[in-house]
């Protein structure tokens, strides 16, 4: 994934998640709650548990709809994270580059981001 990033902040909304991976998969994104948030199989396939297509307002509306099914403290924390900058554009660039089979341009040659 280029440009490289030490972390990504992208809206997440799932009730199910990957709990085990095959031996030929490698984890590309992980969190404490979702240890298999992003997976890759060789150079041929990738998957993500997050939703870079979700606008923060849409993700917030989903959180509000799920109040009662999720604890208020978790909902409040989720809403707070949606007020912070996110990396949806970065992840979109990763997906676009993967689908086109070319790396996206880097911000600066050798930047090591």
Q: How far apart are CA 17 and CA 35, in angstroms?
A: 9
Q: How far apart are CA 31 and CA 15, in angstroms?
A: 15
| pTM recorded for the entire structure | 0.74
> 50: closest CA among 94, 80, 6, 83?
94
pLDDT below 70 — which residues of the chain? 103-113
Over residues 29-59, the pLDDT tens digits come to 898 888 999 999 988 899 998 888 999 999 9
Please report, for the chain, the start and end positions of each structural domain, with discontinuous segments joined by +: 26-99
- pLDDT value, residue 94: 86
- pLDDT value, residue 78: 93
């Amino acid at each position: 994934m280029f440009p490289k990033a030490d972390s990504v902040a992208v809206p997440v909304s799932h009730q199910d998640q990957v709990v085990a991976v095959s031996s030929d998969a490698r984890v590309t994104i992980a969190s404490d709650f979702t240890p298999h948030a992003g997976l890759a199989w060789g150079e041929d396939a990738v998957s993500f548990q997050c939703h870079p297509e979700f606008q923060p307002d849409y993700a917030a509306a989903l959180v509000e709809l799920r109040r009662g099914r999720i604890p208020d403290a978790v909902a409040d924390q989720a809403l707070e994270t949606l007020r912070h900058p996110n990396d949806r554009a970065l992840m979109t660039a990763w997906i676009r580059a993967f689908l086109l089979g070319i790396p996206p341009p880097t911000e600066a040659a050798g930047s090591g981001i």
